[in-house]
Structure 1
Amino acid sequence: MAFLPRAAAVAAFMAAACTSGSDPATTATAPPSITASGARSTSPASTPSMTPIPSGVPSATMTAPADPAGAEKEIKRVWERFFNPATSVEDKVALVEDGEMNSLMVEAFAKDERSGQIVGRAGTVRFTSPAEAEVTYALFRNSTTVQPFGRGKAVRQDDAWKISFTTMCSLTKYGADVPKAAAC
């Protein structure tokens, strides 16, 4: 006779699911259970427990490359080389993030008479991630300060530090005829 109470419970469950008007796929209750008295009961579905992250797992908040001092030196060299009139146009293109894609803008900046007179020096470098840094810089033209407190960015691309594309866009204003790339 144990068969009859189970069959009745299954029939009751199916009837309730069909007539309740709710979608069983979105209902957050566990399947009904039969109590000792034969009454049907439902309980809220249990939520899976969250597994804690082990304390030895590195967090994703690293804000500096493995060698910050070496990276800072490399970033400062990039800025000095970019603003050195003796640096070739091809080398300047290679010193800018996505320089190949934006070579017309970089070439125009490098060949422009007015921007060609600019010398730049990177000041402080503050890493915001292992592959990005904020850079303060100063720009000079003929021993006169043009931009004493510039703010730009450096990015790590193709295993090298480069002047960010957005910073390059902001530098075009120092030339006489340096058009910005369409993506600026």
Structure 2
Amino acid sequence: MSNRIPVTKSGLSLTKSIAVCALAAGLLAACGVSGKEAPVGHPVTAAPSTDNTLTQVVTDVYQRFFDGNTTADQKIAALENGQAFADTIRAQADSPIAKGSKATVSSVTSADATHANVVYTISLNGTAALPDQSGTAVKADGTWKVSQASFCALLSLEMQGKPPAPCSAS
């Protein structure tokens, strides 16, 4: 058996990646947002008129979803098939790690009218913990959301390859 620490594609050790993913998943259910902020998920009834519009809408959804101050219900609404993950998101609501997490989006590219590719970084208390992650956003019921597949990829890291049952359906 090797004494080497497994390293993820981002160059982080598996242990650190798991801790960071716990943060990312936990932040999904952290505490409330002030009444001044826009609701999670921006209704878009037609395809965005420009790449800048798509980039802004998807960036906003990712930032709110991974923000430690967003409520569990708002996170559930911002996630594709969010209700299937409600128990997981709520169970992590009180995680102190989650409350210090944020996401920044470095790029959004349209794959088609209802799918976008996203490159994002999850930070913990201002320090990049999972840099340059690849994810996707989907447009469901006229609203752009973080894809179930992207959330499941993080949960898989956090739960050492054994994410919750809804991930098996993705």
CA distance in 2, matches of 1:104, 1:180: 13
- Structure 1, unmatched stretches of 5+, are 1-63
- Structure 2, unmatched stretches of 5+, are 1-46
Answer yes or no: is the 8 Å Cα contact 2:58–2:137 preserved in 1.
yes
1:91 alignment partner, SS class = helix
Is residue 131 from structure 1 mapped to residue 104 from structure 2 by the alignment?
no
Q: 2:102 aligns with which of 110, 119, 126?
A: 119
- Which residue number in structure 1 is paired with residue 56 of structure 2? 73
TM-score by length of 2: 0.62
CA distance in 2, matches of 1:137, 1:175: 17
Structure 1 pair 121–174 and aligned structure 2 pair: CA distance change class (3 A): farther
More helix by share: 2
Deviation at 1:176, TM superposition (A): 8.3
Answer yes or no: is the 8 Å Cα contact 1:65–1:129 preserved in 2.
no
1:67-118 alpha-carbon deviations (Å, 9 max, x no partner): 3321211100011111222211100100000101221223234443323322
Deviation at 1:172, TM superposition (A): 2.5
1:130-158 alpha-carbon deviations (Å, 9 max, x no partner): 10011000111122211111110000011
Deviation at 1:171, TM superposition (A): 2.1
1:97 alignment partner, SS class = coil
Q: Percent identity?
A: 26
Structure 1 pair 72–98 and aligned structure 2 pair: CA distance change class (3 A): same
- Which residue number in structure 2 is paired with residue 151 of structure 1? 134
Structure 1 pair 183–173 and aligned structure 2 pair: CA distance change class (3 A): closer
Deviation at 1:65, TM superposition (A): 4.8
CA distance in 2, matches of 1:163, 1:86: 17
CA distance in 2, matches of 1:96, 1:134: 15
Answer yes or no: is the 8 Å Cα contact 1:98–1:165 preserved in 2.
yes
- Which residue number in structure 1 is paired with residue 153 of structure 2? 170
Pairing of 1:9-28 with structure 2 (within 5 A): none
CA distance in 1, matches of 2:115, 2:140: 10
More divergent stretch after superposition (99-108 vs 76-85): 99-108
- Which residue number in structure 2 is paired with residue 107 of structure 1? 90
Task: Tell me how large the CA RMSD over aligned residues is.
Answer: 2.4
2:165 alignment partner, SS class = coil
